[in-house]
Structure formats: structure tokens, C-alpha cells
Amino acid sequence: MTEPQSVFRFAPSPNGELHLGHAYSALLNLKIARASDGKMLLRIEDIDTVRCTPQLEKQMFEDLEWIGFEWDELPRRQSEHFDDYREALFQLEQMELIYASSMSRSEIKQRVAELEVSGTPWPRDPDGTLLYPGTERQQSQSARKPLNETFGHHVIRLDMAKTVEQQRGNLSWEETIGVSPNNTRSIPADPLVWGDVILARRDTPTSYHLSCIVDDAKQNITHIVRGQDLYHSTSVHRLLQELLGLSAPLYHHHELVLDKTGKKLSKSDRDTSLRQLRQSGTSKEQILKMIGFE
């Protein structure tokens, strides 16, 4: 029997100019996909329809083509699939695992400041955001408003403690060591460190975590190759996959391309933007050399 074809994806957000780190991630995906006769897909993560503009998307395509990234099917654009993410939310509502939250960021900060009066610092998630203090989670299930009344008006959060408690068996993911898909180790997932993650916002009817796992399943992704900065997010992704009955891909979190000071690259830094580099005369070959692809 022949092995099923492996499917990879590169999933940039066109909310700024692509930088050297995107070039590295895209080309690493492509290299591993081609080496395993796999399929390479492109997904446009544009759920933030204000910051992701058609102009930035057009530039993104130009930059990707310029550095030699290729993809095998029409790209999937997340802003065209909000119904898919809503369907997943309704499934989670059926399981009584989500609730509406109306506290703003500043209200959360204020509540945390009150809680910190005792002297113990309030925990933050792996991205450095204060954990939601749980104020609106306390409502009994019958007092919770149904999703179709709150969706679009409130933030929708996952009741993390309840979800993890209900979760049977060990939750983990398979991380490939190096880039060989055959050499993996099991990493225990720890979604509790994220607290009650946001699954949909007021202005965006989904979130990165939700749309990412729904689309990885819709696109039948078997191998996820992405930066180390998303390593901890995988705990949330694995939990959501289990809840929604979606299969788990293999993961490889690669090293990040850093700037001269050792910091993670940012889309606002003009010096590492592919567009800026190209406009200032840097050749494709020089870029490939800079990121170790010669």
C-alpha cells in the first residue's frame, strides 16, 4: 500500500510586509514538502479584516513568488470561511464549554490589579497577556446567554478548566526532531497555561486558534512547519482538535530568524522586510544566503 500524500501549509497574515522570517518559514515548508513528495498549500490568515488589506495581500503574493515559494492549489482565504468557524463554535456551545464575556482589556487589567493587592502577581499566558480572571465564567450554564444572541456583541471564551477536566487521556502532540517526518517525540500539551482563551471577538467572529485548527482540518494538513513562537499555541490547538474530533497533524517548530540584536523580527521593521530589501537592490540569491538557503 502506498503512503498517503503528506500535506504542508504556509499560513501568513497579510497585516504587514513579509520579512526574512516569513521567507525562511515558507521555503523550509516547501523544501520538506518537496523532499517527501508532499503537497504545499498556502493559507491567507486574514481574519483581521481591518489590518489585512488587499494591497498587503497583493504584495504578499509578489514577495512569495519573488523568493521562489510555490503552492499547489488555490490559496484558502480565511475571511471567506467565517461560517466554518462559527459552526465549530456552535459545536463547543453544545458541549457547554464556552461562554460570552463582555469585560474589556482595561476592565481585566483593573480586576487583576485588585487581585494583585495581596502581593501575588497574576499569571500571564505564554504570549505575556494577563490571564482572564474568570469573572463571567462563574455564571451557571442556564444563566448563560445562547451563542446566537452573544456572537458579534461579546468575546467568546473557552472554559479552560472545565474543558481540561473533561478531557480524557493524555493530551500531547508529535514534534519532529530535525526536519525528518519519521523522527518524532511526544510533547505533553499544557493548555491550562492559556487560561480561558478567546475563540471569537466582537469585531472578528473567530480567533487565530479556532480558525487555524478548523482550516488545518479542512485542508487535510498532515505536517505543520512553523516558527518556535507558536510552540505553546500547539497546546490549545491539540485541545480544540480533540474536542472537535479533528485529527492531529505532525508538528515541527523551527528556529526563528532574529535581528542583529537577537530579537524576533517584526513586520514593522523596515530593514528585514522582503519588499524593502528588494527595493534597495538586494538580490533573491542574497536573501536566500541570509536565511541559510543557498
Task: Catalog residues that contact ligand GLU under the rule CB under 6 A.
Answer: 11-13, 45, 212, 226, 230
Amino acid at 129: T
Cβ at position 135, least distance to ligand GLU in Å? 30
Q: How far apart are the first and last CA of the chain?
A: 36
Cβ at position 28, least distance to ligand GLU in Å? 12
Contact 239, 164 (CB under 8 A): yes
Cβ at position 144, least distance to ligand GLU in Å? 30
The total of other beta-carbon atoms located within 10 Å of residue 3's CB is 7
Contact 277, 7 (CB under 8 A): no
Contact 181, 250 (CB under 8 A): yes
Cβ at position 50, least distance to ligand GLU in Å? 16
Q: Using the Cα atoms of residue 269, residue 271, residue 277 and residue 279 in order, give the sign of their dihedral.
A: positive
- Of the pair 15, 276, the CB lying nearest ligand GLU is at 15
- Of the pair 32, 147, the CB lying nearest ligand GLU is at 32
- Of the pair 45, 159, the CB lying nearest ligand GLU is at 45
Cβ at position 15, least distance to ligand GLU in Å? 8
- How many whole angstroms separate alpha carbon 97 and alpha carbon 159? 5
- Of the pair 88, 108, the CB lying nearest ligand GLU is at 88
List alpha helices for 140-192, DSSP H.
Answer: 147-150, 160-166
Cβ at position 241, least distance to ligand GLU in Å? 13
- Of the pair 24, 99, the CB lying nearest ligand GLU is at 24
Mutual orientation of helices 233-244 and 82-94 as an angle, nearest 10°? 70
Q: Which three cell numbers stand for residue 253?
A: 517548530
- How many whole angstroms separate alpha carbon 278 and alpha carbon 270? 11
- Of the pair 135, 247, the CB lying nearest ligand GLU is at 247
